[in-house]
Amino acid sequence: MACPRTKQSMLLPCAVPGGILLPAAPEILASLPYSSSSSLVEEKDARRAPSSSAPRLLSRHRHPASRHCFPIRPCLVAWMGATVQSRTELTCTMNVQAFIGTYGINYGRIADNLPPPESVVTLLKAAKIKNVRIYDADHSVIHAFKGSGIELIVSIPNEHLKDYNVYEDHAMSWVKENVEAFLPDTHIKGIAIGNEVLGGSDQELEEALFGAMKNVYNALKRLQLEDKVEVSTAHSAAVFANSFPPSYCTFREDMLVYLKPILEFSSRINSPFYINTYPFLAYKSDPEHIDLKYALFQPNSGVHDAKTGLHYDNMFDAQIDATYAALEAAGYPNMEVRISETGWSSSGDENEAGATVQNARMYNYNLRKRLLKKKGTPFRPKMVVKAYVFALFNENLKPGPSSEKHFGLFNADGSISYSIGFTGLRPSSASSQLLSLKGACSVDLWSEFQHKDVLRDTYAPTKYSIMRIFTDAIINYDVFHFYLCFMRARAAKTPVRVIRNQTVIVHIGFADLRRQRWLAPYTIALAYCVAIILVFTI
């Protein structure tokens, strides 16, 4: 079904096997009243994600100048360190590097207050995001990604398609100036030809899409880049005649005139079918009949597809399988579907149902967890879902309803709009910088713990209170896969303070350390046992 024209979207990055062991700094340990032991924190891949669903497929039409992206599996790398704050206490600070669990993110720039591209690349690298989509081929942006290791998809805006459809030499010039000139230093892995062209109001543009795609690909082929740079285009749900239940989804007859040659061409060059999916737009259009929990991946009764017998507990999977069903009906059952945009607005007009910070955080957080599973959909269980989250930043100049300006995970100043497991460009406090490695971001523990009331046992005078806090974090959020006991300290006398600067600080009194020195070997042994158990059970 059709929906208002809009722009941009984003998504999340990679995984690191195993953990890192870093002892406290020798110069700091030497200053303690007695020798101190090292601390260990390890990391393993997150595994679970809540889910939910709702019955419709809806996508948004976007301005050609906006698009963004995110990567697959997350990275949780933790460091443990120690620093003396005073003569009476030792502070152990743990910073967890930012992580994102999706495939990529969309980096749109319809704003007048965004950080420079170089700072954006720093943010993306710190968050371990490895795949990014932009909505043009701005040279300053492409140059900023030079040597970053981030895979970039550049775009040809819709307004250029008619020209490149007619003039093959113009397409060649564009490829030379905007792709070849930056290879191999900038890893440009794809070119998106327009965005949501089909199903719009410009028939001439729809007619020009296939020719533009073909001419750009031919230019790449003549430059011997066709095996290095992918050619694709992203579609909205406007190309579908119906989308519910998923198995009944088909392409509109009037769209098949344009889609048939594009699908044949994409199949021949092994290019996936990109679709922009927005459960937010579906819910906003019909909040009375669509279960919000279904749209936000939360527990719900779900939707049953009578034709296939499949059950859907979230709208995201249903939208993807609707796309697969349409491709199968069109004769392309083996074509891969990738999500070029998906996201949720954190603010909107009064008539825009569901556009809240809480819902945006819930959707993107649960989306990340769902993608971390690296699994397919009910209809295509072996086809791993890859998605670009929309969007990296809020964009204050985007036209349309207010919600269009608030899809960003980050604000224009680089701070987070809401937490789904990582922080922004700006350090939140001096204390959080003490042990942060350069370029690392810490997990927003405050938001994570506060959300589930994990702080309830923080100061409980029990031997297991600290371990229980972090066990809750593991069970509920996959933030830590195991947290080994702190240095020589009596657990019952070691309160944990979770503060708003996204740093967990444990205060250990020196006097208590001296009294309980005999506990050290037992504490360390227990820590390693817990680590081994968690590694093989979580």
* 83 pLDDT more than 60: no
Residues of the chain with CATH 3.20.20.80: 68-74+99-405
The three-state secondary structure class of 70 is coil
Point out the catalytic residue in the list 341, 352, 395, 448: 341
Confidence category of residue 36, pLDDT binned at 50, 70, 90: very low
Please give the pLDDT value at position 433: 30
Residue range 155-183: average pLDDT?
A: 97
Q: Which segment of 93-107, 353-367, 519-533 scores lowest on mean pLDDT?
A: 93-107
Known catalytic residue at 196: yes
Q: Are 58 and 285 in contact (CB under 8 A)?
A: yes
Angle at 533 between CA 527 and CA 534, to 5 degrees: 90
Mean pLDDT of the chain: 71
Q: Are strands 78-84 and 89-96 parallel, antiparallel or unpaired?
A: antiparallel
What is the distance between the alpha carbons of residues 527 and 537, in angstroms, rounded to a whole number? 15
* 373 pLDDT more than 90: no
Tens digits of residue pLDDT in 346-361: 999 999 999 999 999 9
What is the distance between the alpha carbons of residues 277 and 408, in angstroms, rounded to a whole number? 16
Tens digits of residue pLDDT in 96-143: 233 344 579 999 999 999 999 999 998 888 878 899 999 999 999 999
Please give the pLDDT value at position 531: 67
What is the distance between the alpha carbons of residues 254 and 351, in angstroms, rounded to a whole number? 32
Please give the pLDDT value at position 522: 61
Please give the pLDDT value at position 520: 54
Tens digits of residue pLDDT in 249-294: 999 999 999 999 999 999 999 999 999 999 999 999 999 999 999 9
Please measure the distance between the N-terminal and C-terminal CA atoms of the chain and give it in whole angstroms. 42
What is the distance between the alpha carbons of residues 228 and 396, in angstroms, rounded to a whole number? 35
Point out the catalytic residue in the list 43, 151, 196, 352: 196
Q: Give the DSSP H or E segment for 222.
A: helix 203-222
Torsional sign, CA 435, 94, 371, 447: negative
The three-state secondary structure class of 208 is helix
Tens digits of residue pLDDT in 407-453: 999 888 777 888 776 544 443 333 233 222 222 223 333 333 333 33
Known catalytic residue at 341: yes
What is the distance between the alpha carbons of residues 217 and 100, in angstroms, rounded to a whole number? 32
Please give the pLDDT value at position 535: 61
Q: Of 123-127, 143-147, 371-375, where does the model show the most confidence? A: 143-147
**Cβ–Cβ contacts within 10 Å for residue 102, how many?**
32
What is the distance between the alpha carbons of residues 293 and 3, in angstroms, rounded to a whole number? 22
Please give the pLDDT value at position 59: 40
* 517 pLDDT more than 60: no
Q: Are 496 and 508 in contact (CB under 8 A)?
A: no
CATH superfamily of 68-74+99-405: Glycosidases (3.20.20.80)
What is the distance between the alpha carbons of residues 14 and 27, in angstroms, rounded to a whole number? 34
> How is the chain split among helix, strand and coil, in percent rounded to 5?
35, 15, 50
Please give the pLDDT value at position 260: 96
* 35 pLDDT more than 50: no
Tens digits of residue pLDDT in 378-394: 999 999 999 999 999 99
Confidence category of residue 534, pLDDT binned at 50, 70, 90: low
What is the distance between the alpha carbons of residues 324 and 246, in angstroms, rounded to a whole number? 9
What is the distance between the alpha carbons of residues 84 and 157, in angstroms, rounded to a whole number? 55
Please give the pLDDT value at position 408: 94
Structure tokens at 12: 């999340």
Percentage of the chain modeled with pLDDT above 90: 53
